[in-house]
Chains A and B, each alone.
Chain A
Amino acid sequence: MGTGELGRVYQEGEVIIRQGKTGDCMYEIQDGKVEVIQEISGKEVRLAVLGKGDFFGEMAIFEHDVRSATVRALGEVRALTIDKRTFLRRITEDPSLAFRIVERMSHRIREMNRELARLKT
Protein backbone atom coordinates (compact mmCIF):
# COMPACT_ATOMS: atom_id res chain seq x y z
CA MET A 1 0.00 0.00 0.00
CA GLY A 2 1.44 3.41 -0.99
CA THR A 3 2.16 5.88 1.84
CA GLY A 4 -0.66 8.21 0.84
CA GLU A 5 -3.33 5.61 0.13
CA LEU A 6 -6.29 5.79 2.49
CA GLY A 7 -8.50 2.86 3.46
CA ARG A 8 -7.62 -0.81 3.52
CA VAL A 9 -6.43 -3.18 0.80
CA TYR A 10 -8.33 -6.43 0.13
CA GLN A 11 -6.71 -9.17 -1.91
CA GLU A 12 -8.24 -10.99 -4.92
CA GLY A 13 -11.18 -13.12 -3.79
CA GLU A 14 -11.25 -11.70 -0.25
CA VAL A 15 -14.77 -11.30 1.11
CA ILE A 16 -15.37 -7.74 2.30
CA ILE A 17 -18.94 -8.25 3.50
CA ARG A 18 -20.80 -11.54 3.73
CA GLN A 19 -24.47 -12.15 3.03
CA GLY A 20 -26.47 -12.85 6.20
CA LYS A 21 -23.98 -11.21 8.54
CA THR A 22 -24.79 -8.04 10.48
CA GLY A 23 -22.87 -4.88 9.65
CA ASP A 24 -22.55 -1.34 10.88
CA CYS A 25 -20.65 0.38 8.12
CA MET A 26 -20.63 1.03 4.41
CA TYR A 27 -17.66 1.10 2.02
CA GLU A 28 -16.45 3.51 -0.62
CA ILE A 29 -14.19 1.97 -3.28
CA GLN A 30 -10.98 3.99 -3.64
CA ASP A 31 -9.35 1.75 -6.22
CA GLY A 32 -10.06 -1.55 -8.00
CA LYS A 33 -13.23 -3.59 -8.53
CA VAL A 34 -15.55 -5.75 -6.43
CA GLU A 35 -18.31 -8.18 -7.36
CA VAL A 36 -21.66 -8.23 -5.61
CA ILE A 37 -22.94 -11.79 -5.26
CA GLN A 38 -26.16 -13.24 -3.97
CA GLU A 39 -26.19 -16.81 -2.75
CA ILE A 40 -29.44 -18.52 -3.74
CA SER A 41 -29.87 -22.21 -2.75
CA GLY A 42 -26.12 -22.66 -2.55
CA LYS A 43 -25.56 -21.10 -5.98
CA GLU A 44 -23.79 -17.80 -6.52
CA VAL A 45 -25.41 -15.19 -8.76
CA ARG A 46 -23.36 -12.14 -9.67
CA LEU A 47 -25.56 -9.05 -9.33
CA ALA A 48 -23.09 -6.35 -10.20
CA VAL A 49 -19.50 -5.30 -10.54
CA LEU A 50 -18.61 -2.03 -8.83
CA GLY A 51 -15.53 0.11 -9.33
CA LYS A 52 -13.69 3.20 -8.13
CA GLY A 53 -16.03 5.84 -6.66
CA ASP A 54 -18.88 3.36 -6.07
CA PHE A 55 -20.11 2.45 -2.61
CA PHE A 56 -21.67 -0.67 -1.14
CA GLY A 57 -23.05 -1.90 2.17
CA GLU A 58 -25.24 1.19 2.56
CA MET A 59 -28.36 -0.88 3.30
CA ALA A 60 -26.94 -1.87 6.69
CA ILE A 61 -26.82 1.81 7.59
CA PHE A 62 -30.48 2.43 6.86
CA GLU A 63 -32.03 -0.93 7.77
CA HIS A 64 -31.74 -3.08 10.87
CA ASP A 65 -31.17 -6.16 8.81
CA VAL A 66 -28.38 -8.50 7.83
CA ARG A 67 -26.26 -7.95 4.70
CA SER A 68 -28.32 -8.81 1.63
CA ALA A 69 -25.35 -9.86 -0.52
CA THR A 70 -21.71 -10.86 -0.40
CA VAL A 71 -19.12 -8.45 -1.77
CA ARG A 72 -15.82 -9.90 -2.90
CA ALA A 73 -12.63 -8.31 -4.23
CA LEU A 74 -11.96 -8.74 -7.95
CA GLY A 75 -8.21 -8.34 -7.96
CA GLU A 76 -6.63 -6.01 -5.44
CA VAL A 77 -9.14 -3.50 -4.05
CA ARG A 78 -8.72 -0.53 -1.77
CA ALA A 79 -11.83 0.53 0.14
CA LEU A 80 -12.62 3.06 2.85
CA THR A 81 -15.02 2.20 5.66
CA ILE A 82 -17.69 4.72 6.60
CA ASP A 83 -19.06 4.17 10.10
CA LYS A 84 -22.79 4.09 10.62
CA ARG A 85 -22.47 6.38 13.65
CA THR A 86 -20.37 9.03 11.87
CA PHE A 87 -22.63 8.90 8.85
CA LEU A 88 -25.91 9.15 10.76
CA ARG A 89 -24.61 11.95 12.98
CA ARG A 90 -23.55 13.98 9.95
CA ILE A 91 -26.76 13.29 8.10
CA THR A 92 -28.91 14.58 10.97
CA GLU A 93 -26.84 17.78 10.94
CA ASP A 94 -26.88 18.06 7.16
CA PRO A 95 -29.52 15.99 5.34
CA SER A 96 -28.12 17.05 1.95
CA LEU A 97 -25.26 14.61 2.64
CA ALA A 98 -27.66 11.86 1.62
CA PHE A 99 -28.27 13.30 -1.88
CA ARG A 100 -25.53 11.29 -3.56
CA ILE A 101 -26.53 8.04 -1.88
CA VAL A 102 -30.20 8.51 -2.70
CA GLU A 103 -29.21 9.37 -6.27
CA ARG A 104 -27.18 6.15 -6.64
CA MET A 105 -29.88 4.05 -5.00
CA SER A 106 -32.46 5.53 -7.34
CA HIS A 107 -30.15 4.74 -10.26
CA ARG A 108 -29.90 1.14 -9.07
CA ILE A 109 -33.71 0.85 -8.83
CA ARG A 110 -33.97 2.20 -12.37
CA GLU A 111 -31.54 -0.48 -13.56
CA MET A 112 -33.42 -3.18 -11.67
CA ASN A 113 -36.69 -2.08 -13.24
CA ARG A 114 -35.12 -2.29 -16.66
CA GLU A 115 -33.82 -5.79 -15.89
CA LEU A 116 -37.22 -6.85 -14.52
CA ALA A 117 -38.97 -5.59 -17.63
CA ARG A 118 -36.48 -7.46 -19.80
CA LEU A 119 -37.10 -10.69 -17.88
CA LYS A 120 -40.87 -10.29 -18.10
CA THR A 121 -40.93 -9.84 -21.86
Chain B
Amino acid sequence: MQIHKTRKFDSKKHGLHIKLKTSGLNLENNSRVGVIGSGPAGSFFSYFLLDLAKRVGINIQLDIFESRDFSAPAPAGCNMCGGIISESLVQTLATEGINLPPSVVQRGIESYTLHMDVGRVVIDTPLHEKRIGAVYRGAGPRGIKEKKWGSFDGYLQDLAMEKGAHLIQARIKDIGWDDKWPQIKTSTGLEKEYDLLVVAAGVNSPTIKLFQNTDYIPPDTTKTFICEYYLGEEGVENCLGSSMHAFLLKIPRLEFAAFIPKGDYATVCMLGKKINKELVQSFLENPEVKSCVPPDWNMNHKACQCYPQINIKGSKKAFSDRIVFIGDCGVSRLYKDGIGGAYCTAKAAATTAIFEGISAHDFKKHFWPACKRIEKDNRIGKIIFFAVGLVQKVRFARRAVFRMVIMEQKNKSGRKRMSMSLWDLLTGSAPYQEVFWRMFHPFFFIRFFWNIAVAVFPFKRKRFQKRTYGYR
Protein backbone atom coordinates (compact mmCIF):
# COMPACT_ATOMS: atom_id res chain seq x y z
CA MET B 1 0.00 0.00 0.00
CA GLN B 2 1.19 3.43 -0.75
CA ILE B 3 0.44 6.90 0.40
CA HIS B 4 -1.13 8.71 -2.53
CA LYS B 5 0.61 11.70 -3.92
CA THR B 6 -1.32 14.61 -2.51
CA ARG B 7 0.31 18.03 -2.70
CA LYS B 8 3.34 17.50 -4.83
CA PHE B 9 5.56 20.50 -4.68
CA ASP B 10 8.39 20.92 -7.11
CA SER B 11 11.53 20.70 -5.07
CA LYS B 12 13.80 21.19 -8.09
CA LYS B 13 12.18 24.53 -8.72
CA HIS B 14 12.93 25.54 -5.14
CA GLY B 15 16.54 24.63 -5.65
CA LEU B 16 16.90 22.14 -2.82
CA HIS B 17 16.63 18.90 -4.69
CA ILE B 18 19.01 16.36 -3.25
CA LYS B 19 19.65 13.18 -5.18
CA LEU B 20 19.43 10.30 -2.80
CA LYS B 21 21.87 7.46 -2.94
CA THR B 22 19.55 4.77 -1.65
CA SER B 23 18.12 2.52 -4.33
CA GLY B 24 16.15 -0.12 -2.40
CA LEU B 25 13.88 0.32 0.61
CA ASN B 26 16.66 0.08 3.15
CA LEU B 27 18.68 2.60 5.06
CA GLU B 28 22.22 2.65 3.77
CA ASN B 29 25.30 4.74 4.35
CA ASN B 30 24.41 8.45 4.15
CA SER B 31 20.67 7.81 3.92
CA ARG B 32 18.58 10.79 4.97
CA VAL B 33 15.91 10.56 7.63
CA GLY B 34 13.50 13.38 8.47
CA VAL B 35 11.63 13.38 11.80
CA ILE B 36 8.63 15.68 12.28
CA GLY B 37 8.37 16.59 15.95
CA SER B 38 10.82 16.42 18.80
CA GLY B 39 8.45 15.36 21.55
CA PRO B 40 9.36 12.09 23.31
CA ALA B 41 8.52 9.95 20.26
CA GLY B 42 10.63 11.97 17.83
CA SER B 43 13.61 12.31 20.16
CA PHE B 44 13.55 8.66 21.27
CA PHE B 45 13.37 7.57 17.64
CA SER B 46 16.28 9.81 16.63
CA TYR B 47 18.37 8.70 19.61
CA PHE B 48 17.85 4.97 19.02
CA LEU B 49 18.08 5.09 15.23
CA LEU B 50 21.46 6.86 15.42
CA ASP B 51 22.65 4.57 18.21
CA LEU B 52 21.73 1.42 16.26
CA ALA B 53 23.14 2.84 13.02
CA LYS B 54 26.47 3.35 14.78
CA ARG B 55 26.39 -0.21 16.09
CA VAL B 56 25.89 -1.65 12.60
CA GLY B 57 28.39 0.80 11.13
CA ILE B 58 26.29 3.02 8.90
CA ASN B 59 26.16 6.77 8.81
CA ILE B 60 22.68 8.31 8.80
CA GLN B 61 21.90 11.98 8.28
CA LEU B 62 18.97 12.72 10.51
CA ASP B 63 17.06 16.01 10.75
CA ILE B 64 14.50 16.67 13.48
CA PHE B 65 11.98 19.41 12.82
CA GLU B 66 10.50 21.04 15.89
CA SER B 67 8.39 24.16 16.12
CA ARG B 68 8.56 24.53 19.92
CA ASP B 69 11.46 25.92 21.93
CA PHE B 70 11.64 23.74 25.04
CA SER B 71 13.67 26.33 26.93
CA ALA B 72 10.72 28.73 26.79
CA PRO B 73 8.08 28.73 29.53
CA ALA B 74 4.31 28.50 28.89
CA PRO B 75 2.77 27.01 25.68
CA ALA B 76 5.73 28.01 23.47
CA GLY B 77 7.81 25.26 25.06
CA CYS B 78 5.28 22.83 26.49
CA ASN B 79 3.77 19.62 25.16
CA MET B 80 0.83 19.70 27.60
CA CYS B 81 0.89 16.64 29.84
CA GLY B 82 0.73 15.54 33.48
CA GLY B 83 4.46 14.90 33.37
CA ILE B 84 4.57 11.56 35.16
CA ILE B 85 7.37 9.30 33.98
CA SER B 86 6.17 5.83 34.88
CA GLU B 87 8.05 3.36 37.01
CA SER B 88 8.53 0.95 34.13
CA LEU B 89 9.80 3.69 31.81
CA VAL B 90 12.24 5.02 34.43
CA GLN B 91 13.63 1.48 34.78
CA THR B 92 13.71 0.80 31.04
CA LEU B 93 15.48 4.07 30.33
CA ALA B 94 18.03 3.29 33.06
CA THR B 95 18.65 -0.06 31.36
CA GLU B 96 19.23 1.87 28.12
CA GLY B 97 21.76 4.03 29.99
CA ILE B 98 19.43 7.06 30.19
CA ASN B 99 19.29 8.05 33.86
CA LEU B 100 16.91 10.95 34.40
CA PRO B 101 18.85 13.62 36.33
CA PRO B 102 17.50 15.65 39.29
CA SER B 103 17.99 18.76 37.16
CA VAL B 104 15.04 17.52 35.06
CA VAL B 105 13.02 15.45 37.53
CA GLN B 106 11.28 17.94 39.80
CA ARG B 107 10.01 15.33 42.23
CA GLY B 108 10.52 11.62 42.78
CA ILE B 109 7.12 10.13 43.58
CA GLU B 110 7.12 7.66 46.47
CA SER B 111 3.41 7.01 46.95
CA TYR B 112 -0.06 7.45 45.53
CA THR B 113 -2.84 8.88 47.64
CA LEU B 114 -6.23 7.68 46.52
CA HIS B 115 -9.03 10.09 47.40
CA MET B 116 -12.63 8.94 47.47
CA ASP B 117 -15.68 10.39 49.17
CA VAL B 118 -15.44 7.52 51.68
CA GLY B 119 -11.91 8.42 52.73
CA ARG B 120 -8.38 8.53 51.51
CA VAL B 121 -5.62 5.96 51.55
CA VAL B 122 -1.92 6.10 50.78
CA ILE B 123 -0.42 3.33 48.63
CA ASP B 124 3.35 3.25 49.01
CA THR B 125 5.72 2.33 46.21
CA PRO B 126 6.34 -1.42 46.44
CA LEU B 127 10.09 -1.16 47.20
CA HIS B 128 9.99 2.10 49.19
CA GLU B 129 12.11 3.60 46.48
CA LYS B 130 11.45 6.62 44.27
CA ARG B 131 11.03 5.20 40.80
CA ILE B 132 8.45 7.56 39.34
CA GLY B 133 9.47 11.01 38.15
CA ALA B 134 7.38 14.18 37.92
CA VAL B 135 8.69 16.53 35.23
CA TYR B 136 7.76 19.53 33.16
CA ARG B 137 7.73 18.93 29.43
CA GLY B 138 8.78 22.53 28.78
CA ALA B 139 10.51 25.12 30.95
CA GLY B 140 7.47 25.58 33.20
CA PRO B 141 4.15 27.42 33.42
CA ARG B 142 3.39 30.95 32.30
CA GLY B 143 5.03 33.57 34.51
CA ILE B 144 7.43 31.08 36.15
CA LYS B 145 9.47 32.99 38.73
CA GLU B 146 12.70 31.02 38.64
CA LYS B 147 13.83 28.26 36.27
CA LYS B 148 15.18 25.68 38.70
CA TRP B 149 14.61 22.59 36.53
CA GLY B 150 15.13 21.80 32.86
CA SER B 151 12.53 20.60 30.36
CA PHE B 152 12.06 16.85 29.92
CA ASP B 153 11.49 17.17 26.16
CA GLY B 154 14.54 19.45 25.96
CA TYR B 155 16.61 16.83 27.78
CA LEU B 156 15.59 14.09 25.32
CA GLN B 157 16.19 16.43 22.39
CA ASP B 158 19.72 17.11 23.67
CA LEU B 159 20.35 13.35 23.96
CA ALA B 160 19.30 12.89 20.33
CA MET B 161 21.55 15.76 19.26
CA GLU B 162 24.49 14.28 21.17
CA LYS B 163 23.99 11.15 19.03
CA GLY B 164 24.27 13.32 15.92
CA ALA B 165 20.73 14.45 15.12
CA HIS B 166 20.48 17.81 13.41
CA LEU B 167 17.75 20.01 14.89
CA ILE B 168 15.88 22.32 12.56
CA GLN B 169 13.80 24.75 14.58
CA ALA B 170 10.88 25.16 12.18
CA ARG B 171 7.33 24.00 11.56
CA ILE B 172 6.60 21.59 8.74
CA LYS B 173 3.81 23.13 6.74
CA ASP B 174 3.57 20.87 3.73
CA ILE B 175 4.30 17.32 2.71
CA GLY B 176 4.71 15.97 -0.80
CA TRP B 177 6.12 13.06 -2.76
CA ASP B 178 8.68 13.29 -5.51
CA ASP B 179 8.34 10.00 -7.29
CA LYS B 180 8.50 7.73 -4.25
CA TRP B 181 10.52 9.91 -1.91
CA PRO B 182 8.77 11.91 0.79
CA GLN B 183 9.43 15.62 0.85
CA ILE B 184 8.81 18.26 3.44
CA LYS B 185 8.46 22.01 3.31
CA THR B 186 8.97 24.18 6.37
CA SER B 187 7.46 27.50 7.41
CA THR B 188 10.86 29.04 6.75
CA GLY B 189 10.78 27.91 3.11
CA LEU B 190 13.22 25.00 3.41
CA GLU B 191 12.40 21.96 1.26
CA LYS B 192 14.01 18.58 1.65
CA GLU B 193 13.58 15.05 0.44
CA TYR B 194 14.14 11.99 2.60
CA ASP B 195 14.62 8.25 2.32
CA LEU B 196 12.47 7.87 5.40
CA LEU B 197 10.01 10.31 6.93
CA VAL B 198 9.05 9.73 10.55
CA VAL B 199 5.96 11.51 11.79
CA ALA B 200 6.04 12.12 15.55
CA ALA B 201 3.80 15.18 15.57
CA GLY B 202 1.46 14.11 18.40
CA VAL B 203 -2.25 14.89 18.34
CA ASN B 204 -2.17 18.51 19.41
CA SER B 205 -1.13 20.16 16.17
CA PRO B 206 -2.79 20.40 12.76
CA THR B 207 0.14 18.47 11.24
CA ILE B 208 -1.68 15.15 10.89
CA LYS B 209 -4.22 16.89 8.65
CA LEU B 210 -1.44 17.17 6.07
CA PHE B 211 -1.87 13.42 5.62
CA GLN B 212 -5.66 13.40 5.31
CA ASN B 213 -5.72 12.42 1.64
CA THR B 214 -3.41 9.48 2.23
CA ASP B 215 -4.14 6.01 3.54
CA TYR B 216 -2.97 7.00 7.05
CA ILE B 217 -5.84 6.73 9.53
CA PRO B 218 -5.41 9.19 12.43
CA PRO B 219 -6.15 8.11 16.01
CA ASP B 220 -9.34 8.97 17.90
CA THR B 221 -8.84 11.63 20.53
CA THR B 222 -10.70 13.34 23.34
CA LYS B 223 -10.33 16.63 25.18
CA THR B 224 -8.67 16.74 28.60
CA PHE B 225 -7.80 19.49 31.06
CA ILE B 226 -4.54 20.53 32.70
CA CYS B 227 -3.76 23.49 34.92
CA GLU B 228 -0.89 24.60 37.10
CA TYR B 229 -1.01 26.18 40.55
CA TYR B 230 1.88 27.92 42.22
CA LEU B 231 2.22 26.68 45.81
CA GLY B 232 5.96 27.25 46.36
CA GLU B 233 8.36 24.44 47.26
CA GLU B 234 7.25 24.42 50.88
CA GLY B 235 3.59 24.59 49.97
CA VAL B 236 3.94 21.59 47.62
CA GLU B 237 5.84 19.67 50.29
CA ASN B 238 3.30 20.42 53.03
CA CYS B 239 0.13 19.87 51.01
CA LEU B 240 1.03 17.08 48.60
CA GLY B 241 4.47 15.80 49.66
CA SER B 242 6.03 13.34 47.22
CA SER B 243 2.71 11.64 46.63
CA MET B 244 0.59 11.75 43.52
CA HIS B 245 -3.00 12.43 44.56
CA ALA B 246 -5.54 10.54 42.47
CA PHE B 247 -9.29 11.17 42.81
CA LEU B 248 -12.05 8.64 42.24
CA LEU B 249 -15.04 10.89 42.85
CA LYS B 250 -18.64 10.57 41.85
CA ILE B 251 -18.77 13.61 39.61
CA PRO B 252 -20.72 13.08 36.37
CA ARG B 253 -18.53 12.86 33.24
CA LEU B 254 -15.30 12.82 35.29
CA GLU B 255 -13.34 9.60 34.82
CA PHE B 256 -10.11 10.40 36.55
CA ALA B 257 -8.38 13.38 38.08
CA ALA B 258 -5.05 13.91 39.78
CA PHE B 259 -2.95 16.48 41.61
CA ILE B 260 0.70 15.98 40.70
CA PRO B 261 3.38 17.61 42.88
CA LYS B 262 6.21 19.27 40.97
CA GLY B 263 8.94 21.59 42.31
CA ASP B 264 7.15 24.85 43.06
CA TYR B 265 3.87 24.02 41.34
CA ALA B 266 1.11 21.43 41.46
CA THR B 267 -0.37 20.14 38.22
CA VAL B 268 -4.07 19.28 38.04
CA CYS B 269 -4.99 16.76 35.35
CA MET B 270 -8.51 15.73 34.40
CA LEU B 271 -9.76 13.04 32.05
CA GLY B 272 -13.41 12.52 31.26
CA LYS B 273 -16.23 13.04 28.81
CA LYS B 274 -16.77 16.49 27.31
CA ILE B 275 -14.57 18.28 29.80
CA ASN B 276 -15.60 21.92 30.12
CA LYS B 277 -15.38 24.80 32.61
CA GLU B 278 -18.35 23.56 34.68
CA LEU B 279 -16.83 20.11 35.12
CA VAL B 280 -13.46 21.63 36.08
CA GLN B 281 -15.17 23.90 38.59
CA SER B 282 -17.21 21.14 40.20
CA PHE B 283 -14.03 19.09 40.62
CA LEU B 284 -11.99 21.94 42.10
CA GLU B 285 -14.80 22.78 44.51
CA ASN B 286 -15.03 19.22 45.81
CA PRO B 287 -14.16 19.03 49.55
CA GLU B 288 -11.77 16.13 48.93
CA VAL B 289 -9.82 18.32 46.49
CA LYS B 290 -9.82 21.27 48.87
CA SER B 291 -8.30 19.07 51.56
CA CYS B 292 -5.13 18.85 49.40
CA VAL B 293 -4.49 22.57 49.07
CA PRO B 294 -3.62 25.40 51.49
CA PRO B 295 -6.62 27.05 53.20
CA ASP B 296 -6.06 30.35 51.38
CA TRP B 297 -5.93 28.64 47.97
CA ASN B 298 -7.91 30.31 45.24
CA MET B 299 -8.89 27.96 42.44
CA ASN B 300 -9.05 30.85 39.98
CA HIS B 301 -5.39 31.76 40.50
CA LYS B 302 -4.04 29.36 37.87
CA ALA B 303 -0.58 29.95 36.46
CA CYS B 304 -1.44 28.19 33.22
CA GLN B 305 -4.24 26.06 31.82
CA CYS B 306 -4.97 24.11 28.64
CA TYR B 307 -7.39 21.61 27.13
CA PRO B 308 -5.12 19.22 25.16
CA GLN B 309 -6.27 16.21 23.17
CA ILE B 310 -5.31 12.70 24.23
CA ASN B 311 -5.10 9.60 22.05
CA ILE B 312 -7.86 7.15 23.08
CA LYS B 313 -7.80 4.79 20.10
CA GLY B 314 -4.71 4.25 18.02
CA SER B 315 -4.33 4.76 14.31
CA LYS B 316 -5.47 1.77 12.24
CA LYS B 317 -2.76 2.34 9.68
CA ALA B 318 0.37 4.17 10.68
CA PHE B 319 2.94 3.28 8.02
CA SER B 320 3.56 3.08 4.34
CA ASP B 321 6.64 2.83 2.13
CA ARG B 322 9.25 5.24 3.55
CA ILE B 323 6.92 6.70 6.15
CA VAL B 324 5.97 5.75 9.68
CA PHE B 325 3.84 7.41 12.39
CA ILE B 326 5.02 6.98 15.97
CA GLY B 327 3.96 8.14 19.43
CA ASP B 328 0.56 9.77 19.90
CA CYS B 329 -0.15 10.25 16.20
CA GLY B 330 0.21 6.46 15.79
CA VAL B 331 -0.58 4.24 18.73
CA SER B 332 -0.28 5.16 22.42
CA ARG B 333 -1.10 3.68 25.81
CA LEU B 334 -4.63 4.43 27.01
CA TYR B 335 -4.76 7.22 29.64
CA LYS B 336 -1.47 6.23 31.30
CA ASP B 337 2.19 6.25 30.39
CA GLY B 338 1.80 7.90 26.99
CA ILE B 339 5.51 8.72 27.09
CA GLY B 340 6.21 5.02 27.69
CA GLY B 341 4.03 4.27 24.64
CA ALA B 342 6.01 6.83 22.62
CA TYR B 343 9.25 5.09 23.70
CA CYS B 344 7.92 1.66 22.61
CA THR B 345 6.69 2.72 19.17
CA ALA B 346 9.79 4.88 18.56
CA LYS B 347 12.11 2.01 19.44
CA ALA B 348 10.13 -0.46 17.31
CA ALA B 349 10.29 1.91 14.32
CA ALA B 350 14.03 2.51 14.81
CA THR B 351 14.92 -1.20 15.05
CA THR B 352 12.72 -1.97 12.01
CA ALA B 353 14.34 0.78 9.94
CA ILE B 354 17.88 -0.34 10.80
CA PHE B 355 17.57 -4.12 10.79
CA GLU B 356 14.66 -4.85 8.45
CA GLY B 357 13.94 -2.03 6.02
CA ILE B 358 11.65 0.92 5.45
CA SER B 359 8.98 -0.49 3.15
CA ALA B 360 5.33 -0.81 4.18
CA HIS B 361 5.91 -4.57 4.29
CA ASP B 362 8.82 -4.18 6.74
CA PHE B 363 6.87 -1.86 9.01
CA LYS B 364 3.84 -4.14 8.89
CA LYS B 365 5.89 -7.17 9.82
CA HIS B 366 8.21 -5.70 12.43
CA PHE B 367 6.90 -2.34 13.68
CA TRP B 368 3.15 -2.91 13.62
CA PRO B 369 3.14 -5.91 16.05
CA ALA B 370 4.53 -3.61 18.78
CA CYS B 371 1.67 -1.15 18.10
CA LYS B 372 -0.90 -3.94 18.03
CA ARG B 373 0.39 -5.23 21.37
CA ILE B 374 -0.27 -1.79 22.88
CA GLU B 375 -3.72 -1.59 21.25
CA LYS B 376 -4.64 -5.06 22.51
CA ASP B 377 -3.58 -4.04 26.00
CA ASN B 378 -5.64 -0.83 25.70
CA ARG B 379 -8.74 -2.90 24.95
CA ILE B 380 -8.20 -4.72 28.23
CA GLY B 381 -7.59 -1.32 29.85
CA LYS B 382 -11.02 -0.19 28.65
CA ILE B 383 -12.65 -3.13 30.47
CA ILE B 384 -10.76 -2.23 33.65
CA PHE B 385 -11.73 1.45 33.40
CA PHE B 386 -15.34 0.37 32.87
CA ALA B 387 -15.15 -1.62 36.12
CA VAL B 388 -13.50 1.33 37.89
CA GLY B 389 -16.33 3.54 36.55
CA LEU B 390 -18.87 1.23 38.19
CA VAL B 391 -16.99 1.36 41.49
CA GLN B 392 -16.94 5.16 41.19
CA LYS B 393 -20.73 5.20 40.91
CA VAL B 394 -21.61 2.83 43.75
CA ARG B 395 -20.80 3.97 47.26
CA PHE B 396 -20.62 0.55 48.90
CA ALA B 397 -18.21 -0.60 46.17
CA ARG B 398 -16.01 2.42 46.87
CA ARG B 399 -16.15 1.53 50.56
CA ALA B 400 -15.16 -2.05 49.77
CA VAL B 401 -12.14 -0.92 47.71
CA PHE B 402 -11.13 1.52 50.44
CA ARG B 403 -11.46 -1.08 53.16
CA MET B 404 -9.50 -3.68 51.22
CA VAL B 405 -6.61 -1.30 50.56
CA ILE B 406 -6.49 -0.17 54.20
CA MET B 407 -6.37 -3.79 55.38
CA GLU B 408 -3.62 -4.64 52.91
CA GLN B 409 -1.53 -1.61 53.83
CA LYS B 410 -1.80 -2.50 57.53
CA ASN B 411 -0.89 -6.12 56.95
CA LYS B 412 2.81 -5.89 56.07
CA SER B 413 3.34 -9.51 55.05
CA GLY B 414 0.25 -10.58 53.07
CA ARG B 415 -0.35 -10.23 49.35
CA LYS B 416 -1.55 -6.78 48.40
CA ARG B 417 -3.73 -7.61 45.41
CA MET B 418 -5.98 -4.54 45.47
CA SER B 419 -3.17 -2.11 46.36
CA MET B 420 -0.91 -3.50 43.65
CA SER B 421 -3.70 -3.45 41.06
CA LEU B 422 -4.49 0.17 41.91
CA TRP B 423 -0.80 1.04 41.96
CA ASP B 424 -0.26 -0.39 38.50
CA LEU B 425 -3.48 1.09 37.19
CA LEU B 426 -2.81 4.58 38.53
CA THR B 427 0.88 4.68 37.71
CA GLY B 428 0.77 2.81 34.40
CA SER B 429 3.67 0.70 35.71
CA ALA B 430 2.43 -2.61 34.30
CA PRO B 431 0.46 -3.54 31.19
CA TYR B 432 -3.33 -3.54 31.69
CA GLN B 433 -3.30 -7.27 30.94
CA GLU B 434 -1.29 -7.90 34.11
CA VAL B 435 -3.64 -5.75 36.17
CA PHE B 436 -6.60 -7.58 34.64
CA TRP B 437 -5.35 -11.04 35.56
CA ARG B 438 -4.53 -9.88 39.06
CA MET B 439 -8.05 -8.47 39.42
CA PHE B 440 -9.70 -11.59 38.06
CA HIS B 441 -7.80 -13.88 40.37
CA PRO B 442 -10.27 -15.97 42.45
CA PHE B 443 -8.68 -14.77 45.75
CA PHE B 444 -9.10 -11.17 44.66
CA PHE B 445 -12.77 -11.80 43.87
CA ILE B 446 -13.44 -13.59 47.15
CA ARG B 447 -11.82 -10.77 49.15
CA PHE B 448 -13.54 -8.08 47.18
CA PHE B 449 -16.99 -9.64 47.59
CA TRP B 450 -16.32 -10.22 51.27
CA ASN B 451 -15.43 -6.55 51.64
CA ILE B 452 -18.54 -5.56 49.69
CA ALA B 453 -20.62 -7.64 52.10
CA VAL B 454 -18.93 -5.94 55.06
CA ALA B 455 -19.40 -2.52 53.48
CA VAL B 456 -23.11 -3.16 52.89
CA PHE B 457 -23.85 -4.71 56.30
CA PRO B 458 -24.79 -1.73 58.51
CA PHE B 459 -23.67 -3.12 61.91
CA LYS B 460 -20.21 -4.01 60.71
CA ARG B 461 -19.94 -0.77 58.83
CA LYS B 462 -20.66 1.22 61.97
CA ARG B 463 -17.94 -0.54 63.90
CA PHE B 464 -15.55 -0.12 61.03
CA GLN B 465 -16.43 3.54 60.81
CA LYS B 466 -15.82 4.20 64.48
CA ARG B 467 -12.82 2.06 65.04
CA THR B 468 -10.32 2.62 62.43
CA TYR B 469 -10.49 4.43 59.22
CA GLY B 470 -12.65 7.48 59.71
CA TYR B 471 -15.36 6.98 57.14
CA ARG B 472 -17.33 10.07 56.45
Contacts and interface: CB of A to CB of B under 8 A. Distances in A.
B108 interface: yes
Contacts of A42: none
Secondary structure of the B contact surface, majority rule: mixed
Interface in A66-110: 80-83, 86-87, 89-90, 93-94, 96-97, 99-101
A25 B90 CA distance: 15
Contacts of A4: 101-108, 133, 149, 263
Contacts of B379: none
B306 to A, nearest CB: 24
Given A5-B102, A80-B131, A93-B373, 13 more contacts: A3-B263, A5-B105, A6-B131, A8-B127, A8-B130, A52-B99, A80-B90, A82-B91, A90-B92, A90-B95, A94-B351, A97-B96, A99-B55
A36 B105 CA distance: 29
**Interface range on chain B: under 10, 10 to 19, 20 to 34, or 35 or more?**
35 or more
Contacts of A101: 95
B320 to A, nearest CB: 23
B370 A93 contact: yes
Interface string B339-358: 00000100110010000000
User: Which of A6, A30, A94 has the most CB atoms of chain B within a 10 A radius of its CB?
Assistant: A6
Interface string A6-33: 1110000000000000000000101000
**Interface range on chain A: under 10, 10 to 19, 20 to 34, or 35 or more?**
20 to 34
CB-based closest 5 A-B pairs: A4-B102, A4-B105, A28-B94, A8-B129, A82-B91
Given A96-B52, A100-B95, A80 B88 contact: no
Nearest to B90: A6
B52 A6 contact: no
A34 B356 CA distance: 40
A92 B312 CA distance: 26
Contact of B92 (A3, A6, A30, A86): A86
Contacts of A1: 108, 130
B466 interface: no
B95 A28 contact: yes
B95 A6 contact: no
Nearest to B101: A4
B47 to A, nearest CB: 13
Contacts of B133: 4, 6
